[in-house]
Amino acid sequence: MTVTWEELRWERLATGVGRCRLPVWDCTAGLVVGAGAALLIDAGSSLAEGVRLRAQAEELAGHRVTHLALTHPHFDHVFGAAAFAGAEVFGAVGVDTVFTARHGREELRADAVGNGLDAHLADEAVDALALPRHHVSGEWTLDLGGGRQVLLANVGPAHTAHDLVVLVPGSPEVVFCGDLVEESGEPQAGRDAVPSHWPAALDRLLDLGGEDALYVPGHGAVVDAAFVRAQRDALADRFGVSL
Ligand SMILES: [Zn+2]
């Protein structure tokens, strides 16, 4: 690598694995570097942010970002996706319907503007939304070369109807949770959430990641299995779900 994670203010989590916390909404974008391939997890909140992310990720990887995984269809995670032209884009099955349906696009735009994104930037991002071509139901193993394999798992619905997580085996194992887990505030449950299934989704996440993994929330600091388990209990309590 020509540049270090620290120099670009990314957090290194394991060999070839890191993330950055994006400005304004503290949204996480993750990177897994393979041999000649690289996976970015989430794309930022605007086209310009996507372009910046891509440049940084490619500097860190030393080559192109070849794959993009979208954890769920919220503006702060997907509006930069069009900056990754040519990458293979993955999402939970059905996520493309949010991007193509008129009301889905309008809700994305309204949510972005309501959260403070400039209306012009929101229009530009909605017009350019990149559709995931690979729809994950269950699990999908991605080979990034050089012995680097990652697992994409559809564990929802929970935070949205289309929640995808990314597991990166290694020591430590790293789990990119999307907004199924939040550290910097309460988990956000909007109109598109499926709260009754959320605790079960976190059980699935814990099964996949195990006790020793680093769990990377969609917003906030990296947490451990105990934190995820406590958040699962709190969500069950909040939404009246019996465990
Ligand atoms: Zn979200």
Dihedral sign, CA of 211, 155, 122, 48? Answer: positive
Q: pLDDT tens digits for 144-153?
A: 999 999 999 9
> Whole-prediction pTM value?
0.97
Q: Which tops the pLDDT comparison, 131 or 143?
A: 143
Cis omega (within 30 of 0) for bond into 157:
yes
State the distance from the centre of ligand 1 to the C-alpha of 156, rounded, in angstroms: 13
Domains of the chain and any CATH numbers: 11-238 (3.60.15.10)
State the distance from the centre of ligand 1 to the C-alpha of 187, rounded, in angstroms: 9
In the predicted structure, residue 1 carries a pLDDT above the cut 70:
no
State the distance from the centre of ligand 1 to the C-alpha of 3, rounded, in angstroms: 30
State the distance from the centre of ligand 1 to the C-alpha of 220, rounded, in angstroms: 13
Residue 127 neighbours by CB under 8 Å, 6+ apart: none
Q: pLDDT tens digits for 36-87?
A: 999 999 999 999 999 999 999 999 999 999 999 999 999 999 999 999 989 9
State the distance from the centre of ligand 1 to the C-alpha of 190, rounded, in angstroms: 9
Distance CA 39, CA 158 (A): 24
Distance CA 120, CA 122 (A): 5
Per the structure block, which two tokens stand in for 3? 């540049």
Distance CA 120, CA 195 (A): 32
Return the pLDDT at 43: 97
State the distance from the centre of ligand 1 to the C-alpha of 35, rounded, in angstroms: 30
- Residues around the ion ligand 1 (C-beta < 5 A): 74, 179
Identify the H or E element spanning 30: strand 28-33
Strand-strand pairing, 174-176 and 164-168: antiparallel
Mean pLDDT to the nearest integer, 202-216: 97
Q: pLDDT tens digits for 136-191?
A: 999 999 999 999 999 999 999 999 999 999 999 999 999 999 999 999 999 999 99
State the distance from the centre of ligand 1 to the C-alpha of 219, rounded, in angstroms: 9
Of 111, 127, 114, nearest in space to 75 by CA? 111
State the distance from the centre of ligand 1 to the C-alpha of 74, rounded, in angstroms: 5
State the distance from the centre of ligand 1 to the C-alpha of 77, rounded, in angstroms: 7
Mean of per-residue pLDDT scores for the chain: 96
Distances in whole angstroms, Cα of residue 90 to Cα of each of 119, 147, 160, 196: 27, 20, 16, 25
For the chain, percent of residues with pLDDT exceeding 90: 96
Give the phi and the psi of residue 20 in degrees, each rounded to 5.
-125, 155
Strand-strand pairing, 149-154 and 164-168: antiparallel
CA-atom Rg of the chain in angstroms: 16
State the distance from the centre of ligand 1 to the C-alpha of 61, rounded, in angstroms: 26
